[in-house]
């Protein structure tokens, strides 16, 4: 080839342009540094209707709860269980990915609580006494004190009887201990460990928390991997040993580990199948290497552009990015397999696909926006490679081979026969086919339930069931977030809420609740309790002293029952005993952008309990059901995305009408639209809910499928080679997405199934578009 | 922390010595016929009832509180302490929980599931008074002393946390259970003297 010929110069200019654009992208990526890869599974969850502040508070709480883990190490021989628990505990403690791990109960922790409660014996009483008359309060504590001293099996500590004759610290302690989350569990103490007995084994309880920077994804040095190895070693040593696990980290680790293995298999098989197919067709490595290189460059370009624009990329974006592979391979195949690479069809196909993605960019959902942007850039890069670089490669393949077009010709002959059917018969067939879809639409269920997106591994599921039975915590799916401009305001609002919750408990709508203000009341409540008790307790003091053989002090109101001047409440920072500090860490969210937040958890709620009756959003008390909010937000997002893509299709049709006639434009969009309707109907028949991931699949069908129709429309006198290229494109897409539909990971399999059904229908319908 | 722990251990040790040194030198052989016989005495009847006198000595304030009433130990319904003097009050420890009735008739209920330590103590007490050898063996170091006029059983909880509330228990009896003496971690002594009226 003459290097100085205008044709050659043009080609080298094209390659230079392609290289320049991609190098510019690399520079942009470097300039945009620092960027990160977001691996947080919760990032794919959309923002709900909650205000951004409540959402931020909720996120802090979720991050905390999702890092907690519980392990139960059991054996029929308790010594073995203890040894194994010690080894597991020390393995956890020694790892930097673990924030805390505990499995021994401090024998002196009760002393710490006793001292704390003695100092706060007035303010920590049951707030229900505030509704009583002074004399009633005095009688109540008088009788309780007599019971504690003279009653059978008195457990009360009487060593400070003269300072605390009504034994208020004992009342506070009983109240507090009955409220701690551990109190309702089946755990018992044994050798300074919390243990539980089940099926002939004694299990030792280990409580641990992952550090914030520990990954949710499985990797070689992940602590949960190390933990699994340790457990395996222990089980080799002690064959009867069982370890039950509970907590979000185990699920994240297990699902990502399963996904990694599965994606490895699926991508391996589909890549091998696609390569084999291409090798059979081209019988040359050059088009295959070129096609794969263009895909690799497209993915790198898409990754770079996303990092440069968003400064981060979510791991899920790569999954959606498979569409880039699907479409880029189509462009490359058309270039190599179609007799005349149809630049016009490719450009139109590119434009229509990009329009679908632009529709997704408009949706207010950062991850979807990132995914769409990633795909847009990837496709642009793939198209540039095909248009600017591939011609240089094709030169070397000239005169090299003829493709086996026989199959394509036979198929097209079949379509021609179908088209020769009289119009009325065709309409009848169409109506019957459309009618067959109706029952599917009737059964259609457009809904996203993220619980159905994840199938718990059987062993982990059984573990969770056992732990739930032992712990008996019963945290309701809806909880409350309370906000205020100060710690005191939050605590006061909590107290208003808990008063209502106590009513619900009396009405047996709830068994109990967990609120930090029950453990650390507001200054207002403390002052009210102090004031009530300082008035009431002196009323029966002399009687009590006589019965308890105590010498009464003079002026007891001042010396024993004086109201304490309270400082501004600094509950968040108060040095609490260990047991109460753990409750604070669970419930107190803290300060976010100048406001304070806490959570109140209803426990063992009945079906009749409606949390919204107890919320007061105008007063900063919100009922939050993360699961419900996420589901409805995802369903709403899916429908918005679908509507926008439908709108984009109208726009596509409109734009196509400038190139083709209106009638032809409608014929082009007919294939992907009917394919989507077919897919929806099939989901109805199969009773698979059309969720966010199914709708994402439909969007891909619309984006990829329209290209087939466009290629056929522009095929003119080489429909056989176009049909061959479309066949190849469809085959590669079906192999890729068909294997995805086999995944055990529900979002991936649903996406794969939607694309498999849609692209199959699109492939079958698109030849009708040709002239 | 270690210092206070050592102090607690010393107090426990001292109280054990004070209660009755001989019993703690004689670990129980559960296979021995004498021990088996005592356990039979404790667990033989469906229901045991009678009167009791409770003496509670608090070392730190140097005071003893005495009260008396009726009791009933039932395999089925648990233990009922019906205090009569100086104030009427009632305590029922059963499988479902602990119910305390105060002198004014008000009730304080504690579901057995509600508190780990209280549950441990309630279960231990039921095992002691019901002669549940399996539970006793699980939770206590057992000691036994055969005397001329009867027997003594010594119990030391294995759990340090429980030892704070019950450092040791000594049961004394002959054909029946006559006396129970509980010493807590602070050295306070709680004594029950029983007069059984029916089985």
Enumerate the residues of chain B whose CB falls inside 8 A of the CB of residue A154. Answer: 56, 190
Cβ-based contacts of A184 with chain B (< 8 Å)? 113-114
In this predicted structure, the answer to whether residue A288 has a pLDDT above a threshold of 80 is yes
SS3 state of residue B46: coil
To the nearest whole Å, the CA of A117 is away from the closest chain B CA by 17
A12 touches chain B (CB under 8 A): no
Residue of B nearest to A150 (CA): B67
In sequence order, what are the residues at sequence separation of 6 or more whose Cβ sits closer than 8 angstroms to the Cβ of residue B117? A110, A177, A189, B161, B162, B165
A9-24: pLDDT as tens digits = 777 788 888 888 888 8
Query: Could you say which of B5, B102, B108 has the minimum Cβ distance to residue A107?
Result: B5
Nearest CB among A149, A183, A189 relative to B161 is that of A189
- Among candidates B91, B113, B158 on the partner chain, residue whose Cβ is nearest the Cβ of A152: B91
Rounded to two decimals, what is the model's pTM?
0.71
Q: Which residue has the higher pLDDT, A262 or A327?
A: A262
pLDDT tens-digit series, residues A741-755: 887 778 778 888 999
Q: Specify whether the CB–CB gap between A744 and A266 falls below 8 A.
A: no
Give B-chain residues touching A189 at CB under 8 angstroms. 116-117, 120, 159, 161-162
DSSP string over A146-163: HHHHHSSS-----TTTTT
Residues of A in contact with B55 (CB under 8 A): none
CB contact, 8 Å: B106 with chain A? yes
Average pLDDT along chain A: 83
Mean pLDDT of A388-394: 83
B-chain residues within 8 Å CB-CB of A107? 5, 8, 160-161, 163-164
pLDDT at position A754 is: 93
The whole-number pLDDT of residue B8 equals 40
- What is the pLDDT, as a whole number, of residue A489? 93
pLDDT above 70: residue A641: yes
Range A311-338 average pLDDT: 73
Chain A residues whose beta carbon lies within 8 Å of the beta carbon of residue B91: 151-153
- pLDDT at site A625: 84
**Residues B4-15: pLDDT tens digits?**
333 343 344 444
Q: Which residues of B touch A579 (CB under 8 A)?
A: none
Q: Decide if A184 and B63 are in contact by the 8 Å CB cutoff.
A: no
How far is B158 from A252, CA to CA, in rounded Å?
40
Mean pLDDT of the A537-541 span: 93
pLDDT, tens digit (0-9, with 9 covering 90-100), for A488-516: 999 999 999 999 999 999 898 988 888 99
| pLDDT score, position B195 | 86
B88: contact with A, CB 8 A cutoff: no
Whether residue A56 lies within 8 A of chain B, CB to CB, comes out as no
Contact A152 B102 (CB under 8 A): no
pLDDT at B11: 41
| Pairwise CA distance, residues B181 & A446, whole Å | 70
Nearest-CA distance A313 → chain B (Å): 48
Which among B1, B160, B165 has the least Cβ separation from residue A155? B165
Tell me, yes or no, if B89 comes closer than 8 A to chain A by beta carbon: yes
A114-130 mean pLDDT? 86
The number of folded domains in chain B is: 1
Measure in Å the smallest separation between the Cα of A625 and chain B Cα atoms: 27
* For range A634-641, the mean pLDDT: 79
Contact A132/B at CB under 8 A: no
Most confidently predicted of A310-314, A557-561, A592-596, B97-101: A592-596
Residue B92 touches partner A, C-beta closer than 8 Å = no
Q: What per-residue confidence (pLDDT) applies to B17?
A: 41
Q: Give the nearest partner residue to A191 out of B5, B120, B158, using CB atoms.
A: B158
Distance separating alpha carbons of residues B37 and A438, to the nearest angstrom: 82
Query: Do residue B102 and residue A182 have CB atoms under 8 angstroms apart?
Result: no
Beta bridge partners, A204, equal A73, A195
CA distances for A307 relative to A25, A47, A283, A311, A313, angstroms: 10, 22, 38, 5, 6
Q: How far is CA A202 from CA A227, A240, B117, B142, in A?
A: 20, 11, 18, 22
Residue B182: strand pairing partners: B169, B190
The residue-averaged pLDDT of A710-717 equals: 78
The model's confidence at residue B3, banded by pLDDT at 50, 70 and 90, is very low
A100: enclosing H helix or E strand: strand A98-102
Residue A651 burial class via C-beta count within 10 angstroms: exposed 0-12, middle 13-18, buried 19 and up? middle
Q: Which helix (H) or strand (E) holds B99?
A: strand B97-101
Higher pLDDT, A422 or A538: A538
What residues of chain B lie within 8 A of the CB of A197, using their CB?
none
Query: By the CB < 8 Å criterion, does B77 face chain A?
Result: no
| Residue of B87, B91, B120 lying closest to A189 (CB–CB) | B120
For chain A, say whether B117 makes contact (Cβ under 8 Å).
Answer: yes
Q: Given this model, what pLDDT does residue A504 score?
A: 93
**For the residues A598-620, what does the mean pLDDT come to?**
90
For A145, the closest chain B residue by CA position comes to B102
By Cβ distance, the residue of B69, B83, B116 closest to A187 is: B116
Say whether B150 sits in a helix, a strand or coil. coil
Mutation site, A152, A189, A197, interface B, largest B CB count within 10 A: A152
Touching check for B164 and chain A: CB below 8 Å? yes
Question: pLDDT digits over A667-693, tens only?
Answer: 888 888 999 999 999 999 999 988 888
The complex scores an ipTM of 0.80
Write the pLDDT tens digit of every residue in A44-53: 565 555 677 8
B9 touches chain A (CB under 8 A): no
pLDDT over 90 percentage in chain A: 21
Smallest CA–CA distance, residue B78 to chain A, in Å, is 14
CATH code (residue B130): 2.50.20.10
Please state, for a pLDDT cut of 90, what percent of chain B lies above it. 13
> Using CA atoms in the order A438, A439, A440, A442, what is the torsion angle rounded to 10 degrees?
90
**Residue written as tokens 């007919």?**
A670
Question: Among A529, A524, A456, which residue's Cα sits nearest to residue A492?
Answer: A524
pLDDT for A651 beyond 80: yes
Chain B residues close to A111, C-beta within 8 Å: 4, 164
Domain extent for B10? 2-196
- Containing H/E element for A662? helix A662-685
Q: Is the pLDDT of residue A659 over 80?
A: yes
CA distance A213 to A35: 16
Whole-number percent of chain A with pLDDT over 70: 89
Task: Count Cβ atoms within 10 A of the Cβ of residue A519 and give its class: 0-12 exposed, 13-18 middle, 19 or more buried.
Answer: buried
Give the C-alpha separation, A464 to A469, whole Å.
9
Q: B36-87 pLDDT, tens per residue?
A: 888 777 776 677 889 999 999 988 888 899 999 998 888 777 888 899 988 8
Give the tens place of pLDDT for each residue, A419-455. Answer: 777 778 878 888 998 899 999 999 988 877 777 777 7
What is the structure's pLDDT at B120? 67
Rounded mean pLDDT, A291-302 = 85
Q: Does B58 touch chain A (CB under 8 A)?
A: yes
- Do the Cβ atoms of B83 and A150 come within 8 Å? yes
Residue B191 distance to chain A (closest CA, Å)? 10
User: How far apart are the CA of A149 and the nearest CA of chain B, in angstroms?
Assistant: 7
Cα–Cα dist A112/A115, whole Å: 5
A189 shares contact with chain B (CB less than 8 Å): yes
> B68 at the A interface (CB within 8 A)?
no
- At A449-458, the pLDDT tens digits run 777 777 788 8
Taking CB atoms and an 8 Å limit, are B104 and A154 in contact across chains? no
Structure tokens that stand for A281 in this block: 């067709």
Digit-coded pLDDT (tens) for A178-235: 777 666 677 877 777 888 888 889 999 999 988 877 766 666 688 999 999 999 999 9
Backbone angles phi, psi at B119, to 5 degrees: -65, -40
How would you class A315 by CB atoms within 10 Å of its CB: exposed for 0-12, middle for 13-18, buried for 19 or more? middle
Residues 154-183 of A with CB under 8 A from B: 154-155, 157-159, 161-162, 174, 177-178, 182-183
Confidence of residue A43 (pLDDT cuts 50, 70, 90): low
Q: Angle at Cα A21 formed by Cα A17 and Cα A26, nearest 5°?
A: 145
Question: Over 50: is that where the pLDDT of A572 sits?
Answer: no
């Amino acid at each position: 080839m003459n290097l100085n010929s205008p044709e050659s110069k043009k080609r080298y200019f094209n390659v230079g342009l392609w290289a320049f654009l991609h190098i510019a992208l690399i520079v942009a990526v470097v300039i945009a540094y620092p960027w990160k890869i977001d691996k947080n599974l919760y990032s794919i969850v959309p923002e709900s209707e909650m205000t951004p502040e409540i959402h931020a508070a909720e996120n802090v709480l979720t991050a905390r709860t999702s890092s907690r883990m519980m392990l139960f190490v059991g054996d029929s021989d308790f010594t073995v269980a203890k040894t194994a628990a010690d080894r597991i505990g020390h393995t956890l403690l020694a790892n930097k990915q673990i924030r805390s791990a505990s499995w021994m109960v401090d024998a002196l922790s009760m002393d710490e609580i006793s001292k704390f409660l003695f100092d706060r014996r007035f303010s920590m009483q049951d707030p229900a006494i505030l509704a009583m008359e002074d004399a009633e309060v005095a009688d109540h504590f008088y009788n309780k004190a007599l019971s504690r001293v003279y009653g059978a099996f008195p457990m009360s500590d009487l060593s400070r009887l003269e300072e605390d004759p009504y034994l208020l610290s004992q009342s506070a302690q009983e109240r507090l201990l009955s409220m701690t989350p551990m109190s309702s569990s089946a755990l018992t103490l044994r050798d300074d460990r919390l243990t539980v007995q089940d099926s002939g084994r004694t299990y030792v309880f280990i409580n641990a928390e992952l550090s914030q920077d520990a990954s949710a994804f499985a990797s070689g040095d992940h602590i949960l991997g190390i933990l699994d190895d340790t457990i395996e070693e222990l089980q080799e040593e002690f064959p009867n040993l069982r370890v039950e696990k509970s907590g979000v980290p185990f699920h994240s680790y297990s699902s990502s580990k399963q996904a990694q293995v599965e994606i490895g298999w699926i991508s391996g098989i589909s890549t091998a199948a696609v390569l084999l197919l291409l090798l059979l067709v081209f019988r040359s490595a050059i088009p295959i290497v070129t096609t794969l290189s263009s895909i690799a460059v497209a993915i790198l370009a898409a990754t770079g552009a996303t990092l440069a624009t968003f400064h981060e990329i979510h791991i899920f974006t790569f999954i959606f990015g498979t569409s880039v592979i699907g479409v880029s391979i189509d462009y490359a195949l058309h270039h190599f397999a179609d007799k005349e690479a149809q630049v016009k069809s490719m450009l139109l196909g590119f434009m229509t696909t990009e329009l679908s993605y632009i529709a997704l960019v408009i949706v207010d959902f950062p991850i979807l926006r990132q995914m769409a942007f990633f795909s847009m850039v990837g496709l642009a890069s793939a198209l540039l490679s095909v248009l600017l670089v591939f011609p240089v490669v094709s030169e070397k393949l000239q005169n090299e081979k003829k493709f086996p077009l026989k199959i394509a010709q036979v198929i097209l002959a079949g379509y021609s026969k179908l088209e020769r059917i009289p119009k009325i018969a065709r309409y009848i067939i169409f109506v019957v086919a459309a009618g067959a879809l109706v029952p599917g639409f009737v059964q259609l269920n457009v809904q996203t339930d993220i619980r159905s997106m994840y199938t718990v591994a059987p062993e982990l599921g059984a573990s969770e069931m056992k732990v739930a039975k032992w712990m008996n915590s019963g945290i309701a799916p809806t909880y409350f977030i309370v906000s205020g401009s100060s710690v005191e305001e939050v605590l006061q609002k909590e107290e208003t809420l808990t008063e209502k919750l106590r009513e619900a408990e009396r009405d047996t709508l709830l068994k109990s609740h967990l609120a930090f203000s029950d453990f650390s009341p507001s200054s207002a409540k403390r002052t009210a309790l102090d004031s009530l008790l300082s008035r009431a307790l002196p009323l029966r003091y002399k009687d009590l002293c006589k019965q308890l053989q105590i010498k009464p002090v003079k002026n007891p109101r001042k010396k024993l029952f004086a109201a304490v001047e309270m400082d501004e409440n600094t509950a968040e920072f108060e040095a609490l005993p260990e047991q109460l500090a753990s409750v604070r860490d669970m419930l107190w969210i803290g300060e976010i952008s100048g406001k304070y937040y806490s959570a109140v958890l209803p426990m063992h709620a009945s079906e009749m309990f409606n949390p919204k009756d107890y919320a007061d959003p105008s007063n900063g008390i919100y009922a939050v059901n993360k699961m419900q909010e996420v589901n409805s937000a995802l369903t709403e997002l899916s429908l918005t995305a679908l509507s926008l893509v439908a709108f984009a299709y109208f726009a596509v049709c409109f734009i196509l009408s400038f190139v083709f006639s209106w009638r032809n434009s409608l014929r082009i969009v007919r294939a992907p639209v009917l394919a989507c309707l077919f897919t929806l109907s099939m989901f109805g028949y199969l009773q698979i809910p059309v969720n966010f991931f199914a709708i994402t699949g439909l969007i891909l069908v619309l984006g990829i499928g329209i290209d087939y129709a466009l290629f056929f429309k522009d095929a003119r006198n080489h429909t056989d080679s176009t049909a061959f290229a479309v066949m190849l494109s469809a085959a590669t897409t079906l192999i890729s997405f068909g294997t995805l539909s086999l995944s055990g990971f529900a979002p991936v399999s649903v996406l794969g199934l939607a694309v498999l059904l849609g692209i199959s229908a699109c492939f079958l319908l698109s030849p009708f578009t040709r002239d | 922390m270690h210092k206070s722990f050592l102090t607690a251990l010393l107090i426990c040790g001292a109280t054990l010595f004070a209660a009755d040194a001989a019993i703690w030198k004689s670990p129980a052989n559960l296979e021995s016929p004498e021990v088996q016989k005592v356990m039979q005495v404790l667990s033989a009847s469906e229901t045991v009832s009678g009167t009791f006198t409770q003496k509670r000595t608090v070392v730190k304030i140097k005071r003893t509180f005495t009260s008396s009433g009726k009791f009933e130990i039932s395999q089925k319904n648990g233990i009922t302490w019906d205090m009569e003097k100086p104030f009427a009050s009632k305590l029922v420890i059963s499988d479902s929980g602990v119910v305390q009735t105060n002198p004014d008739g008000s009730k304080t209920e504690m579901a057995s599931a509600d508190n780990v330590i209280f549950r441990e103590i309630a279960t231990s007490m039921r095992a002691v008074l019901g002669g549940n050898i399996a539970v006793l063996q699980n939770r206590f170091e057992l000691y036994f002393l055969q005397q001329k006029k009867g027997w003594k059983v010594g119990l030391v909880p294995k759990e340090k946390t429980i030892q704070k509330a019950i450092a040791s228990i000594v049961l004394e009896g002959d054909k029946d259970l006559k006396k129970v003496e509980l010493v807590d971690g602070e050295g306070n002594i709680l004594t029950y003297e029983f007069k059984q009226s029916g089985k």
